[in-house]
Structure 1
């Protein structure tokens, strides 16, 4: 499997340093679609702060990926659902840290979550 980044510079706004416009995945054998994952611990309790929830989310995503013999390096697309636009910077920093600086197509949407304690929800697509 090979990843090819597509970041055209003519006729389109530039991508920022933390994402790419498109990522081509050549010859994947498997795709994994991960449902929106919340910052909940093993008992289903939400982390008390935004940072705690982001840590739990990425831990949960790593656990889900591992169950499919994948890792964060297999993530090819990510969507974040933020309860408040003020969470964008912390969410972006957590994403960059979790991905080790690897850039992928990503979108952040401000939305009301189903439970008020859920501050962020992240869904990913991974390929292997």
Structure 2
């Protein structure tokens, strides 16, 4: 995987964001559905921090089922129920990815269930 964040002709990327990731020689792609901050019984976490922890635990479990880790993530989209969740969501993403920048988009959207504060989908390559 090669990160591309050109410095000319486009606005600058930030430390936690890449304009693009090129994947060469990948044998597999994994498209992970929007993942919520639900526990094993399907109950949402009590607040934003708990839901973000659960989301990343759930994403790690899904990736592991395919023999992958967060290091395989090449694209990420976050759906936030409130724009005020953006900072905490970004911090959780940076922590989960160990600071590795990937192309990411955050969208403020209405979730299907009011208690779901964030939903994240990823694409992984390996």
TM-score (norm 2): 0.99
- Offset of residue 36 of structure 1: 0.0
Structure 1 residue runs without a partner (length 5+) = none
Structure 2 residue runs without a partner (length 5+) = none
Work out the number of aligned pairs and report it.
Answer: 126
Q: RMSD of aligned C-alpha atoms?
A: 0.4
Q: Which runs of 4+ in 1 moved over 3 A?
A: none
**Local SS of the residue matching 2:78:** strand
Counterpart in 2 of 1:77?
75
* Structure 2 counterparts to residues 70-109 of structure 1, below 5 A: 70-109=68-107
Deviations along 1:32-78, one digit per CA (max 9) or x if unpaired, are: 00000000000000001100000000000000000000000000000
Counterpart in 2 of 1:51?
49
- Offset of residue 93 of structure 1: 0.1
**Local SS of the residue matching 1:97:** helix
Measure, in 1, the Cα distance between the counterparts of 2:108 and 2:15: 21
**Local SS of the residue matching 2:23:** strand
Measure, in 2, the Cα distance between the counterparts of 1:98 and 1:6: 21
TM-score (norm 1): 0.98
